[in-house]
A and B are shown apart, each in its own frame.
Chain A
Amino acid sequence: MHELGIVFYIIRDVKKAAEENGVEHVNAVVMNIGEVSTIVPDYLMDCWRWAADKEDLLRGCELRFNILPAVTFCEDCHQEYPTVEHGRTCPYCGSEKTYLLKGNEVEIKEIEV
């Protein structure tokens, strides 16, 4: 939904990192994206192409993703289970007292220069 906003954040962070490392051109940006982060990778890619090509530093720069699995923890039976498959209800004990352990990451893992 807010892929364009995210793309501007990525560009800002990458620019900063490039400056700190004296880099003149970035060839690829690698992201870690959680399964339930609400980011739509295709849409992020479209926004990326549009915005990145406006920057000398990022012209033609590729954007790649690692999709990280989402894991939920059950407070009642203390087990972990895959979020996407089972949602908020624990598949072991049926409890709804559960919370997301990981899977909503939107982070820049590394850049290739």
Chain B
Amino acid sequence: MDPVKVIEIKKSVFEDNDKDACLLRKELKDKGVYLLNLMSSPGSGKTTTLIRVINLLRDKIGIAVMEADIDSDVDAIKIKEATGIQSIQLHTGGMCHLDAEMTRQGLDNVDLKGLDLVVLENVGNLVCPAEFDTGACRNAMILSVPEGHDKPLKYPLMFSVCDLVIVNKIDVLPYFDFDLEKCTEYVHMRNPRAQVIPICAKTGEGVEKVAEWLLTEVKNWKNK
């Protein structure tokens, strides 16, 4: 038998994805399209929040949504019916996250003409999606009140990669011992630049602040 030959590689498995993601971001910049990666646990209110925000913004800017949360068309159809905008379902094949390559494939199926903003509703999961750069211009996440204010301590990576933390379901605050002040403090321990916006997607309370944040982001992306 041949003697064993060792070939040194010394390479992070995330390296290629990080490169793909940077390339995708650059292409989006050239096209003037802002991609937001929206993450959360399952059921925190991504789809409900998106519908509210889109209905506030759709007359001002061109928007499309890519749904990756689960492998059924339910959310994509719900968004299309509730807002009338372009909305497609990505099939993740049971994968617990999206990477830049999958995001690019998704974007290939979106008609980018006249679009300023594409929102990616990522797979519902607080661990995996945070590790993979999708190529989005920014990451945002939704934490819902029933999940507890200590989530930033338990999932530090997720909160360190997000520039916007939406605290949803504030209508149920009276029934939970969720401390908004503590939550904000914990979020800032992970990312001092992060904005925290409390909302109730069910009634629409506070959603206009999210819409404003997004509008400013999209404008800055196009101008710089």
Q: Which residue of A lies closest to B2 (CB)?
A: A113
Contact partners of A112 in chain B: CB under 8 A? 4-7
Q: Looking at the complex, which one of B9, B14, B125 makes contact with A110 (CB distance below 8 Å)?
A: B9
The answer to whether B7 touches A13, judged by C-beta atoms less than 8 angstroms apart, is no
The answer to whether A110 touches B7, judged by C-beta atoms less than 8 angstroms apart, is yes
The answer to whether B12 touches A17, judged by C-beta atoms less than 8 angstroms apart, is no
Q: Looking at the complex, which one of A2, A14, A96, A113 makes contact with B5 (CB distance below 8 Å)?
A: A113
Within 8 A of B (CB), among A4-49: 4-6, 9-10, 12-14, 17, 21, 23, 27, 38
Chain B interface helix/strand/loop/mixed = mixed
Given A110-B8, A111-B6: A13 touches B97 (CB 8 Å cut-off): no
Total interface residues on A, CB under 8 Å, equals: 27
Q: Does B69 contact A (CB under 8 A)?
A: no
Q: Which residues of B contact A (CB under 8 A)?
A: 4-14, 16-17, 95-97, 99, 125, 127-128, 131-132, 153, 156, 189
Given pairs A2-B131, A5-B132, A110-B7, 6 additional interface contacts (CB within 8 A): A1-B125, A1-B128, A12-B16, A88-B153, A110-B9, A112-B7
Q: Could you list 24 examples of A-B contacts with CB < 8 Å? A: A1-B125, A1-B128, A2-B95, A2-B128, A2-B131, A5-B96, A5-B128, A5-B132, A6-B13, A9-B17, A10-B13, A13-B13, A13-B16, A17-B9, A27-B4, A38-B127, A96-B189, A105-B12, A106-B14, A109-B8, A110-B7, A111-B7, A113-B6, A113-B7
